[in-house]
Amino acid sequence: MIPDEESAFAIEVHALTERIRPLLARHSPHVVLSVLGDLLAMLLAGTYDLRSREATELLREQLLSGHMDYVRKLIPANEHELRGTVQ
């Protein structure tokens, strides 16, 4: 990815995250995780590989696995950012 595109992507992600955060902040972690899970499931359900059902399932598994890897990598940075507010 070209650095400028990467920066624009990061800015877009951060802006959207900041818009969504207040909607989720009022709810328990269980509710938030369920909402995020439902949204992810909707995204994956709408993702297809037209070659075959097996190819679709593999694609979805790869996307889900990559997503979880990404989330795991974000935890330390987010924990550091939130440390001032987490007791």
What pLDDT, on the 0 to 100 scale, is given for residue 67? 96
Could you write out the DSSP letters of every residue in 36-72?
A: HHHHHHHHHHT---TT-HHHHHHHHHHHHHHHHHHHH
Question: Could you tell me if 40 and 67 are in contact, meaning their C-beta atoms sit under 8 angstroms apart?
Answer: yes
Q: Structure pTM?
A: 0.77
Instruction: Give the pLDDT band of residue 5 (cuts 50, 70, 90).
Output: low
E strand intervals along 27-78: none
Which of 8-17, 57-66, 76-85 is predicted with the least confidence, judged by mean pLDDT?
A: 76-85
Q: What is the mean pLDDT of residues 51-57?
A: 98
